[in-house]
Amino acid sequence: MSTPSSGSTSTGSDNSADAEAEAVGAAPNDTDASADGDERQKYPRRRLALGALLLLLLGIVGAALIVSREESRRPKPDIPLDAWVPYWSLEASVPEFRARGRLLREVSPFWFNAVAADQIVIDPNASQELTDEFMTKVRGSRADIVPSIVDKMAAGEMAAVLADPVTRRQHIDTIVAFAADGDYDGIDLDYEQFAFSDGRSTWADTRPNWVAFVAELAEDLHDDGRTLTVSIPPVYDAEQTSSSGFWVYDYGAIVEHVDRIRIMAYDFSVGDPGPIAPIDWVETTITGAIEATGSPDKLVLGLPAYGRNWPIAVEGECPESDVPGRTSVSARSIDDLIERRDAQPVWVEETGEWMFEYDLEITDGTTTCIQTRQVHYVDGDGVRLRMDLAREYQLDGASLWALGFDDDAVWEAILSTISDPNATTVPS
């Protein structure tokens, strides 16, 4: 995908000064000391003075416009940082929050599932002990609590809920009550079934129903003093073509209603080996979102601190069971994998990520095969590059996917983008 290049600013000259000079030069050089001669000399001087004043004003205005344009392109010195907190990383994220919580604007617990129009439940795999411990820690901090609600209905079911005004209202009331019961600062919607399960043929019908749902929910949450954030896959322009990205979410129509749009600028490669969030693609997701919404003011860039590990070739006969397929890695776990496999990571300039390959022997004592595996991941270096893009485009913030995936290098990268790392929180 190509990324639109940034425009340059140029200034032109104004011909009014030349015209004024010609008028002054054409005035008669009359040496007669008569009154008529004096008057003829006065008016050209006035015109010259007015012309000079006009040129001065034009210069001031022009300089102001140039400064204004430069200011509009100047990266923000700081951008707020948010973070999702998935239940499967809680063992790491509870102590991490103790150390890093002061830097976070919003925290999104990621263990609440919408399983019916009137039901939001805690994921059955989430540890009650760890979720309680984390919520106690975050409630004692200055970070806002904005839980993510994940669409866990079967394909097409959430779309059907939103299509019916009665069930849509029921779902809105359920979310508003959930936010009030938990005394949360806001809600983050993570409804991905539209994009990845329902099929592109459904998008034209789902799109207006999604907008109506977001508008009605936002109004009710705002009436309660709470915020609404949506975490949605990217768009690449403001159109509805096969090249437009996930236009079912209608960035342009929802932006006036929501408080923030978190761009899921990751998972570029899932089924096949490849980069997680190639840097030129990330920039395209930013410019596409700005084109679709008309402004960067409510946009938050999702930051991956993870990677994936794919099998790419096999030699020999593998056992019938326990043969690993695609697995995940994180910035926190990658160094251990590199050491165990004696791997040699290579920085890929084009993607702004690291990658390496290694061989894995798999055997059950009878049959043996050798898998060649390929790993792509984003670490602190990559996080810094993506935060710099968010600053350059003056986004509302960045959101880490996810707390608990990070390591010291990720936080060093984050802190390097903050002008005052000793601040209680990143400025909002």
Residue-wise pLDDT tens digits, 132-189: 999 999 999 999 999 999 999 999 999 999 999 999 999 999 999 999 999 999 999 9
- For residues 192 and 124, state if they share a domain: yes
Q: Are residues 269 and 403 in the same domain?
A: yes
| pLDDT above 70: percentage of residues in the chain | 81
Report d(CA 82, CA 230) in Å as an integer: 13
Residue where one domain finishes, among candidates 73, 104, 137: 73
Regarding whether 323 and 246 lie in a shared domain, the answer is no
Same domain, 87 and 112: yes
> According to the model, what pLDDT value does residue 22 have?
29
> What is the model's pLDDT at position 13?
31
Residue 127 lies in a domain: yes
Give pLDDT, residue 276: 98
In a domain, 424, yes or no: no
Does the pLDDT at position 47 exceed 70?
no
Give residue 420's pLDDT: 60
Same domain (yes/no): 277, 182: yes
The band of 256, judged by pLDDT with boundaries at 50, 70 and 90, is very high
Same domain (yes/no): 229, 294: yes
Residues 6+ apart with CB under 8 A from 359: 370, 371, 372, 373
Tens of pLDDT, residues 83-129: 999 999 999 999 999 999 999 999 999 999 999 999 999 999 999 99
d(C-alpha 402, C-alpha 383), whole Å: 12
Confidence of residue 51 (pLDDT cuts 50, 70, 90): low
In a domain, 139, yes or no: yes
Verify that 317 and 281 share a domain, yes or no: no
Q: Are residues 102 and 191 in the same domain?
A: yes
- CATH number, domain of 268, equals 3.20.20.80
Dist CA 262 CA 286 (whole Å): 11
Q: What is the pLDDT of residue 52?
A: 53
Task: Identify the band that residue 57 occupies on the pLDDT scale cut at 50, 70 and 90.
Answer: low
pLDDT-based confidence at residue 419 (cuts at 50, 70, 90): low
**pLDDT higher than 70, residue 383:** yes
Percent of the chain whose predicted confidence (pLDDT) is above 90: 79
CB neighbour list of residue 370: distance below 8 Å, 6 or more residues apart: 314, 315, 316, 359, 360, 361, 362
DSSP labels, 372-390: EEEEEE--HHHHHHHHHHH
> Taking 90 as the threshold, does the pLDDT of residue 251 lie above it?
yes
In this prediction, residues 206-213 reach a mean pLDDT of 98
User: Domain for residue 426, yes or no?
Assistant: no
The answer to whether position 423 is within a domain reads no
**Residue 281, in any domain of the structure:** yes
425 located within any domain: no
Same domain, 339 and 259: no
Place 38 in a pLDDT band, splitting at 50, 70 and 90: very low
Are 100 and 412 spatial neighbours (Cβ–Cβ below 8 Å)?
Answer: no
CATH code, domain with 369: 3.10.50
Would you state the pLDDT for residue 2?
Answer: 35
Q: So what's the pLDDT on residue 224?
A: 98
Number of structural domains, the chain?
3
**Domain with 346 in it:** 308-376
Distance (Å, rounded) from C-alpha 412 to C-alpha 331? 13
Phi, psi (5° rounding) for residue 296? -85, 0
Same structural domain for residues 104 and 251?
yes
Residues 248 and 357 in one domain: no
Q: Is the same domain home to 64 and 48?
A: yes
Q: Who's near 216: CB < 8 A, 6+ residues apart?
A: 168, 169, 172
Residue 304: beta bridge partners? 401
Is residue 332 one of the residues assigned to a domain?
yes
Residue 161, amino acid: V
pLDDT surpassing 50 at residue 75: yes
Structure token pair of residue 72: 């509009």
**Which of 61-65, 144-148, 196-200, 246-250 has the weakest average pLDDT?**
61-65
Look over the chain and give the mean of its residue pLDDT values, rounded to a whole number: 86
